[in-house]
Amino acid sequence: MPILLNFLKDKRIYIARPTKQTGTNKFLAATVTSAWCHIQPLTRERAEKIDGVFGKTYVIYADGATDVVQGDKLRDQDSNYYKVINGGVTRRAFGSFDHLEIIVERLEN
């Protein structure tokens, strides 16, 4: 499967996981790790998410050992922010090629 070749891993993502909150309403996150990956749009057009807010859905191809779970917030090297959707992490294996397909929504800054 060609998506796992190293020259196609063209972006670095930083993974932030929500931490336990101590009596505040703010989002607290800790950076878990970073990984090289490939990001591409899942669909060509933007879709309405909630009450007139538009966003775009992407798929991220990453190494199978990448520590990503649903609800994680990701930031790429271009300062674009993404959120992993519920049920959006799928492990795929084609022979000896093991990788993750991560479905994310881009968050508007």
Contact 59, 42 (CB under 8 A): yes
- pLDDT band at 24; cut points 50, 70, 90: low
- Tell me: the pLDDT tens digits for 29-70? 677 788 889 888 887 666 555 555 566 889 999 888 888 998
> Which fold, 2-20+27-107?
Thrombin, subunit H (2.40.10)
Supply the pTM of this predicted model.
Answer: 0.77
Distance between CA 51 and CA 71 in Å, rounded? 21
Question: What are the extents of the domains in the chain?
Answer: 2-20+27-107
- Residues whose CB falls within 8 Å of the CB of residue 79, separated by 6 or more in sequence, listed in order: 109
- Tell me: the pLDDT tens digits for 84-99? 999 999 998 877 778 8
Distance between CA 66 and CA 44 in Å, rounded? 26
> Comparing C-alpha atoms, which of 36, 41, 18 is closest to residue 28?
18
Distance between CA 9 and CA 25 in Å, rounded? 36
